[in-house]
A and B are shown apart, each in its own frame.
Chain A
């Protein structure tokens, strides 16, 4: 049999490592390798195939710790294996693996009684992203004293600013991860949540928002001026109170989520 080229070897080896369990290996590869120890060619390749599954399952579990906890070991391992056999890793960095896991859970809907699982995964991915972001130079409360907030101001939010919403109380579930599974409160996760996630001095913070607060921040972070953002929020939430608006601006001043202020001048 002709010697395999390096390229052929790598492609056949890769196929063998990604194949589902109990499926065959290309005879060209089997004939072209010498197993170590008392392994057979099949079992030697199996060392690499199972190693791949274990490594990616663990990497996924590091990011989606709460999903693993909620699903339990058996179901999590099944889901992870199904995901990794259908979603190849394309990044050089193993910790990037899993970006599409929330969408996979959305489509797969593995547990009828745990409809929040995909949103929980989305929250965990968001948290991981924010955790690894660089700190930014934010405006201090003093800046806001010098530049009072007026309607024609536009705010630039720091890169770690994130808004998250879900029809389920995923943050409450996430906080319970690692505790006894009995602590998952049956059906209590059915409350919608609007959250602000941000990083300040290398710490990730999560804050609960009301729905109007969430949308006001969403409009502001989408580039609307303060006046425009208030108008849009009022359209959807005509009962929004002055206290709510004031709370949002107090939060803006004190959390370090703003990096720049820009004034619109009349043309």
Chain B
């Protein structure tokens, strides 16, 4: 990290903490903001979630109703911006237009987290719009660290990078996935968004012990947790975000949240999205586990949000 960037971050420290604006001894459980829930959320009902995560690209290029909805939500809740198109590992470099539009959105929404994925998404003239695997090599590490520094300098803030599910890997690697993630974070100053579903999917697909991965990552490098459901395809596990969180993933969560109570936790659901109250119920499960470790002896539902009027 450059001294200049470090100073910028210190000045903006009130905006950088992943749990900024939240009660640090309450479970910080959020859910993804999805268009299918706009009609439910538009009248601004009381909900059991503490914050929302919005997919950056859905709002960067729209000045229509989606952006209005995001701004409405932002009046009552902290918001994290989670991108899918940064393509931090692309050998073709970063798209300036993308960074420009992302910065505009960040300035408009003032999110408490800005994140994307540790992957590439295709070539600039042939974008595959997928979260694609990278070889865990020194070459990739150096490129990614360089790109993260460019992004953080441009945005003037830290970003988080998420581990992705993969269905193949490059065996000629210099690093294990967990060491690679750790090294990216240490060298670039970014944080990690640890997706425990992706971690589990990769553990099964690539035959490693998920607890080895989990224990290898220092909690101070983690800025957020994602929870979601996968689909068992018979030949491999597939990251679909279409089901409730599986028990094995809840176990990983329990193990991590016991060590890191202040991490914001997100329930992701992108396919076959249930009605909002069912999504809230999934969030409540995370709250129960949090309470088991850090709360009262008898678990209780998460209290109603205390963030109204934060903005």
Contacts and interface: CB of A to CB of B under 8 A. Distances in A.
Interface stretch (A5-13, A150-158, A185-193): A5-13
Contacts of B172: 3-4, 32
A33 B169 contact: yes
A140 interface: no
Nearest to A134: B63
Interface stretch (B16-24, B136-144, B290-298): B136-144
B126 A18 contact: yes
B308 interface: no
Interface of A: 3-7, 9-11, 13-14, 17-18, 32-39, 41, 43-45, 47-48, 51-52, 55-56, 59, 88-97, 131-135, 199, 202
B85 A93 contact: yes
A152 B146 CA distance: 58
Given A4-B135, A52-B128, A93-B57, A34 B168 contact: yes
Contacts of B134: 6
Contacts of B166: 36
Given A10-B123, A13-B132, A47-B236, A133 B64 contact: yes
B46 interface: no
Interface stretch (B89-97, B190-198, B211-219): B89-97
Contact of B170 (A7, A32, A95): A32
B167 interface: yes
A38 B233 CA distance: 10
B309 to A, nearest CB: 24
Given A39-B168, A133-B64, A202-B68, A88 B237 contact: no
Name which of B65, B89, B120, B132 has the most chain A CB atoms within 10 A of its CB.
B132
Contacts of B128: 14, 17-18, 48, 52, 89
25 contacts: A6-B139, A6-B140, A10-B90, A10-B91, A11-B123, A32-B171, A36-B169, A36-B202, A37-B236, A37-B237, A45-B168, A47-B236, A51-B130, A56-B129, A59-B129, A88-B127, A89-B122, A89-B127, A92-B95, A93-B60, A132-B62, A132-B64, A134-B63, A199-B64, A202-B64
Given A3-B137, A90-B126, A92-B98, 17 more contacts: A6-B143, A10-B90, A17-B130, A18-B128, A32-B171, A33-B171, A35-B167, A36-B167, A36-B202, A39-B167, A89-B122, A90-B125, A92-B87, A92-B97, A92-B121, A135-B63, A202-B65
B167 A14 contact: no
**Interface majority SS on A: helix, strand, loop or mixed?**
helix
A88 B125 contact: yes
A94 B87 CA distance: 13
B143 A91 contact: no
A18 B132 CA distance: 14
Given A37-B205, A39-B236, A6 B168 contact: no
Contacts of B143: 6
Nearest to B95: A92
B174 to A, nearest CB: 10
Given A95-B61, A133-B63, A202-B64, A44 B125 contact: no
Name the residue among B87, B128, B237 with the largest chain A CB count within 10 angstroms: B128
B129 A36 contact: no
B75 to A, nearest CB: 16
B147 to A, nearest CB: 12
A48 B132 contact: yes
A55 B167 contact: no
Residue among A10, A37, A96, A132 facing the most chain B CB atoms (10 A cut-off): A37
B167 A6 contact: no
B124 A90 contact: yes
A7 B171 CA distance: 16
B206 interface: yes
Given A9-B170, A45-B168, A132-B61, A36 B137 contact: no
A34 to B, nearest CB: 4
A254 B31 CA distance: 41
B235 interface: yes
A91 B95 CA distance: 10
Nearest to B232: A37
A159 to B, nearest CB: 10
Contact of A10 (B68, B85, B120): B120
B204 interface: yes
Q: Which of A11, A13, A56, A93 has the most CB of B within 10 A?
A: A93
Interface in B110-127: 120-127
A95 B128 CA distance: 13
A31 to B, nearest CB: 10
A55 B172 CA distance: 30
Nearest to A8: B91
